[in-house]
Amino acid sequence: MSNISIIGTGNMARTIGARALAGGNTVEVMGRDQSKAADLAEALGDGATTGEWGTAPAGDIVIVALLYDGVVPAVARYGDALAGKVIVDISNPFNPTFDGLAHREQTSIAQEVAKVAPAGAGVVKAFNTVFRHVLEKGRPDVFIAGDDARAKARVEAFVESLGLRPLDVGGLGMAHWLEGAGVLTVGLANHGVGNLDFALGVTELPA
């Protein structure tokens, strides 16, 4: 069981919140608009609570569920309130045509988050290759990248509580390639698969 705080009140916040509660975790919702956070917490039910934007989250794992360009500013705004927390970046910084990343440098939102996160916080990239729709009703693989082994282990336990398989791809620098996998996922939806009812994952060889 994990204590989860979600920064954000949009569709992805709702989906992760619902799935987290179904998996037996606690959920706190934090929104810049406090009334939207309260509405989401009420809609989620099951003991979900509301926290105040910018203050120390109740959860040990803080999932930032904002549009990609809001993620780094939000983490910077929270500042030391995130000390000791596991910060999870789930964002996809797509370019305007959805066939590349918004940053051309070899970085990622997760790596930029790590630059502004307080000492003692562990940053993990996860969930970005999964369409919200699929997270809602499917059992997709969840790729994870991070430099902090303890933070990754916590996120893995959380992912497992959702009935999903966490797959560690390596250090936080791999978040760049996970963001690229997000680009591939959109490319597959537009070309190779032709719908949104799928996820990238790992298929093991029959023994």
User: Using CB under 8 A as the criterion, which residues of the chain lie in contact with its own copies when the complex forms?
Assistant: 99-100, 104, 106, 134, 137-138, 140-141, 143-145, 166-171, 173-174, 176-178, 180-181, 183-184, 187-188, 190-193, 197-207
Closest contact distance (angstroms) between CB of 101 and its own copies is: 9
Pick between residue 98 and residue 120 the one whose CB is nearest to its own copies: 98
Pick between residue 21 and residue 184 the one whose CB is nearest to its own copies: 184
Q: Which amino acid is at 207?
A: A
Query: Distance between the two ends of the chain, CA-based, in angstroms?
Result: 33
Q: Count Cα atoms within 13 angstroms, Cβ side, for 21.
A: 20
CA distance 13 to 30: 10
* CA Rg value for the chain: 16
Pick between residue 96 and residue 192 the one whose CB is nearest to its own copies: 192
Closest contact distance (angstroms) between CB of 138 and its own copies is: 5
Instruction: Give the other-Cβ count within 10 Å of 85's Cβ.
Output: 24
Q: Are 180 and 170 in contact (CB under 8 A)?
A: no
Pick between residue 119 and residue 207 the one whose CB is nearest to its own copies: 207
Closest contact distance (angstroms) between CB of 45 and its own copies is: 25
